[in-house]
Amino acid sequence: MQLDDKIISKLIEIDDKVDRCATKEDLKASEERVITVLDGHTATLERLDLERMAMITRFERVEDDIVALKNTPKR
């Protein structure tokens, strides 16, 4: 293979690689999909955190009720 043939072969190889690279539009679309999914996860986690806090508050009330019942004199 002559030098010119090697250069042309390499140029074709590089051109094929460039054609397979993602465009800015492809990357932007992927980024938007990822952000949408992460926003959904964030909303779910926030809702679960609120639910957890409500459950903790309820457990504390129940525990207080149990202590109060234990301390109530028997008839």
**Residue ranges covered by each domain of the chain:** 23-75
pLDDT given at position 1? 65
Buried b (16+ CB within 10 A) or exposed e, 43-70: eeeeeeeeeeeeeeeeeeeeeeeeeeee
What pLDDT shows up at residue 57?
Answer: 98
Q: What is the pLDDT of residues 10-68, one digit of tens each?
A: 999 999 888 888 899 999 999 999 999 999 999 999 999 999 999 999 999 999 999 99
Please give the pLDDT value at position 20: 87
Q: Which pLDDT belongs to residue 9?
A: 92
Q: What torsion do the CA atoms of 65, 70, 71, 75 make, to the nearest 10 degrees?
A: 120
Q: Reduced to 3 states, what is the DSSP secondary structure of residue 13?
A: helix
